[in-house]
A and B are shown apart, each in its own frame.
Chain A
C-alpha cells in the first residue's frame, strides 16, 4: 500500500530556526521514502499553519502527517484535530520533537541539524506503518462520590446537588464539619466558624440529592472513569439513626469517660459530651450519637447499659454491625482534609512533658464557646494566664520533619493573638521567622494586630524549659530564642505556649489514594494533575481532589478549589460521554498462555483474567497505553496500539539510515 506522508517543518520563530538549518532539513526530508511533500512554516500550530496541512489533505496530496516541531505534549492534540477535520484518521500523525529534544538542548548548530534529520527520518518511517485507530467513548454516571465531609466535601456536595445531580458523601467521623467545626473564629474577618459552617451542614443533611453516610469509610473501588463501583463500610454506631431524635438523655446519663472528666482543664478539653456515647459537638449533622467502644463500660466490662434504659425511642442497638453498601458513581472526589503534626517528637518543646504547652488545635477547641471551658482561655490549673507565647513553624519549614510551609499558621497565629487580647489581659508574644500574609485582607489583618500591643519577636524558638535562672522565671515556661532583628539571645518567661503545628496529610490517605488509583507525593499529599494548570484533577480520569488533602490551605482557597472540582465534575456529567485513550494495549487471545504476569504488572490495574477462556483481557477504559505489559509478556501476545513493534523498529531504522 503506498502512502503519501506530508512532512511539515516548523520554525517556531527562532526556537527551532535559530539553531537548526531549516532549508537543509527540508531538502533532506524531500529525499525520504514515502514522502509526498515537505513544507515549512514559521508557526505550524497557528491557524494559517494548520490550514496548510488541511489543504494538502483535502486536496488528496497527503494521507499521513509528520509535524517536525515541538513536544507532542504541547500540540499533538492540535494536529490530531487538524487531521480529523480534514478527513483522515487522527492517529495517522507523528510529531518529531525537534525543539525540546533538539534545538533547545544542544549547543552545536550542525549537530542539531543532523539530529533533526534523524528524528524526521524516524518519524517518517514510523508514520508509514501507522494504523488508523477508533476513538473510544464511555458514558458518565451522573452520581458522584465525595470522600470527606469537611468544608471542601460539603462545598462540592452542595454545588453538585444544587445542580440537580446525585451525590454520595462519605465521612469517617460521626458528623460532617471537619476542622472548621472545631474553630472559634476564622481569619481575617473573625467570623464565627460554626455560624458560617452549620447552615451548610444543615443543607447537606436536608438536601434530597445528597446521600449522607457519616461514621463510614471507603472500602473498595472498582471500575473506571464514568463507571466506578464503590463499596462503603458503614461503621456500627450502636444507635439506630432512624429512631434516634437527638434528645441527649443518653450522653447526659452515661458514666463512661471517653475524655477524662478529672484532671486539669487542658486534659478535659472537649467540644461535645465527654461520655462514651457522644456527639462530637452539639451542632452535629446528623444529630445522632455514636458509642465509643474503647471507653464504653458495656463493651469493655459487660455492665451498665444505662443509655439503653434511658432512651425513650429504643434507639440503642448494641448488636449493630458494620454494613457494606455499594454505589455506582461516575466521578470520585477526594476531600479528606488534613491532620495536625504531633509536636511531642520535638523533644525540646516539651509538649506532653510540661503542662501548659498546647497545640494550635487544642487552643482552638479551648476558644470555642461550646467547648469545655466555655470559650475562656485558661491554664491547666484553671487560672487565667498572664502571658502567652505563640510559636510559629513547629514541624513546618524544617527538613527534620516537613520541608513545606503549612500556609495557614501565620494567619491563625495572628488570630490567636487577637483572641487572647480580646478575652484576657495577658501579654502575647509571637515568635515567627517570616509573617506570611498573602491573601485578601491578610496583610491588613497583620497591620491590625501590630496595633494591638502584641510583642512580636522574629526568631524560631530554640527550646522551652521550666528551669529558671532568675526569680522572675520561677513557675513559668521559659522560651529561649534569638531575637534575630536585634541580634540578641532572649529568655522570655510565659504562662502558656501555643505551638503552631504543621498540617499533615490525614491518616489513611495512602490507602484511599491506592483505592482510587492516584498517588501521594513525598510530602504525603495527593498529587494533582498539574501543579499550576490542573490543581483539581489527578492523573486518573474521574478522580478529583479538593482541599487539605491536596496541600495545606485556608478556607477561602479550599472553597474555591472545591467549586473548581464541582465545575470539572459537572462538565464531565453534562457531556454525558467522554473520549478515552485509543492507544491502548491489546491481547491476542490465541497467543496468550494465561501466565498472568501482566495482571500484576499493570500500574493501572487494567488487566483482568478471564477464567473461562484462561486468557488475560485488557480493560481499554482503564488502560493508559504505558506498554509495561507489552514488554513483559513472554508469549509476545500483547500489542501496544500506535506503538507496535514494527512501528518502533521502523523508527530505529529511520535513525540509523539517516546517519551520515
Chain B
C-alpha cells in the first residue's frame, strides 16, 4: 500500500533545436499519493506543461521513469499504455483545442467509453448524461457542439470526458487560466467536489500561485526544468526557503489593499533565461540576490530540509536559520 499512485523519477526531456538542445525538463522526481493534489507551479518556459504531457505519454522523455501504481509507463507497449490511460486522464487550459469540434457534446463525453469497449450504446449514453449533469451541464447541451459554449462550459465538457473512465489520476494543465474569475471559482469548486466524491488524485499545473495554494495539498516549484522547492502548501507559505519561491510569493499582487504593496526594491531582476543553454550550476543564480561563486560551479541537489520539505539551494541552511532574508 506504500506504492505511490504516481512516481516520477529523474525525468529528463530534451528537444534538439537549431540553436542547441532545449532542456525542457531536466531531472525531475516527484511522487503523488492517492487522493491528494500536488500543485506544480512555475513561470512560462519552466517545463511544467511538458512534464504533465510526459506523464500521460504525450511526450516521450529522453531519460527517466514514470510509474503509475508501480507499473512503468515509459517504453510501455501501446496496449499497456491504453490500459494506463484509462486510469489517468488530462484536462487542458483550452478545452476547445482538445475537443473535437465536429462531435456533439454527448458524443465527446461518451467517446472514451467506446474506445475502451465499456458498456453498450444505451449504457454509454446514460453514463454520458449522468456525467454531464454532475459537472453542471444542462441536458440540452448533449446535442450541441463545442463552439456553442463559453470557455467555462467547455471546461466542464473536458472534465466530464476525463471522468468517463473513472480515472484515479487527472493531470490538470492550467485548467482555469483562460477563465474569468467568477467562472474560475466555479471550476475550482467543481474539481474540489469531484475529488472528494471519487477519491481522485490531481497533478495541478499552473502559473498562478494563488490558485495552486488554494487547491493543492503539496506544492512543487519549478524553474528552468528543475524542481527548486517542494513542500506542504502551508509550509511553503510560512517558510519558503528557496530564493525563487520567496520571489514568486512576493511578486503575487495580494487582493488586499491593507497589505504592504509591491516594493520597487526586493523584486527579483530580469526574466527567465532560455532553456537552451541554461546557466551553469544553479539555474536561478543569474537572478538570485544571494548567488555566490559556488552557485555557478555546482548544481545544488534537492535536499530534504524537514519532513516533506525539499529545497535545492546551496545556502538553504542559512535561509532556514534566518541568516539570509529577502533584501
Whether both chains belong to one complex is answered with no
Q: Which residues of B contact A (CB under 8 A)?
A: none
